[in-house]
Amino acid sequence: MKFWIPWGFAAIVTGVAVYFFLVGLADGSVSSFNTGLWTAILLGTMGITIGSLLLKKSGRPGLGALLALVLALPGVLAGLFFLLFLFTQPRGN
């Protein structure tokens, strides 16, 4: 259980990155100019998610959970930040 919670958040962050990539391909905002950046983002998020799962399957669930936390912790903090803006509705001036 201590592995699946951070891994689930890491998988959600990876899914969000893939979603924005596919939407960017559809509307043309992903172009040859920023292909390298998108490649690095997608390889990094997928590498962390898949790598942590492979560590768990090889008998090292603690290391897998730590690797998943590298992606899950910033994702959770960003999600809480957006929820804070959604519910507090700060003034923009």
Q: What percent of the chain has pLDDT over 70?
A: 100
Against a cut of 0.85, is the pTM above it? yes
| pLDDT score of 93 | 76
Question: 21-54 burial by CB neighbour count: b if 16+ within 10 A, else e?
Answer: beeeeeeeebeeeeeeebeebeeebeebbebbbe
What residue type is 7 in one-letter code? Answer: W
Does the pLDDT value for residue 33 go beyond 80? yes
Average pLDDT rounded to a whole number, residues 71-90: 94
Is the per-residue pLDDT at 8 higher than 80? yes
pLDDT in tens, 45-60: 999 999 999 999 999 9
